[in-house]
């Protein structure tokens, strides 16, 4: 075997919020693609199938499990958007300082949770 340096791996890097934001960005994008597509297709199919099927869809989405799915999709959307904005700023060359990167990572995670909570508070309390 050649004596060459090994690639960095997770054992070398110190865990930070920027790593969590990166992972959550991927998870939220995949969640919207898979779960969101399933819900969209189910909704469109129920809408096209008539009032009885649409009523079944709305009953299911109005259940506690349905609310969990919808709240999760809402969080995924805002998390992915906030992280995308953060990455857009990084693409301009700004925000690579460690403290700035760490702060914007925390802000993007908390902003997604806060916006999701505000929207669902409005929906549920009106």
> Residue 102's domain is classified under what CATH number?
1.20.1300.10
Identify whether 66 is part of a domain.
yes
- How many structural domains does the chain have? 1
Identify whether 109 is part of a domain.
yes
Identify whether 9 is part of a domain.
no
Give the pLDDT band of residue 24 (cuts 50, 70, 90).
very high
Q: Which pLDDT tens digit goes with each residue over 6-23?
A: 666 666 777 889 999 999
Identify whether 4 is part of a domain.
no
Identify whether 8 is part of a domain.
no
Identify whether 1 is part of a domain.
no
Identify whether 95 is part of a domain.
yes
Which uninterrupted H or E stretch holds 59? helix 51-61
pTM of the model: 0.87
Q: Is 25 known as a binding-site position?
A: no
Give the pLDDT confidence score for residue 91 in this predicted structure.
93
3-state helix, strand, coil in the chain (%, to 5): 80, 0, 20
Domain that holds residue 49: 17-125
Identify whether 11 is part of a domain.
no
Q: Which pLDDT tens digit goes with each residue over 35-92?
A: 999 999 999 999 999 999 999 999 999 999 999 999 999 999 999 999 999 999 999 9
- Asked if 114 contacts 59 with a C-beta cutoff of 8 angstroms, the reply is no
């Amino acid at each position: 075997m050649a004596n060459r340096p090994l690639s960095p791996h997770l054992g070398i890097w110190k865990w930070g919020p920027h790593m969590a934001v990166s992972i959550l960005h991927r998870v939220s994008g995949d969640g919207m693609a898979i779960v969101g597509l399933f819900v969209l297709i189910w909704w469109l199919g129920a809408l096209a199938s008539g009032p009885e099927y649409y009523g079944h869809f709305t009953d299911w989405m109005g259940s506690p499990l349905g609310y969990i799915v919808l709240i999760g999709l809402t969080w995924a959307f805002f998390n992915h958007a906030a992280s995308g904005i953060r990455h857009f700023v990084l693409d301009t060359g700004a925000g690579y300082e460690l403290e700035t990167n760490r702060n914007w990572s925390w802000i993007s995670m908390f902003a997604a949770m806060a916006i999701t909570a505000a929207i669902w508070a409005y929906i549920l309390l009106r």
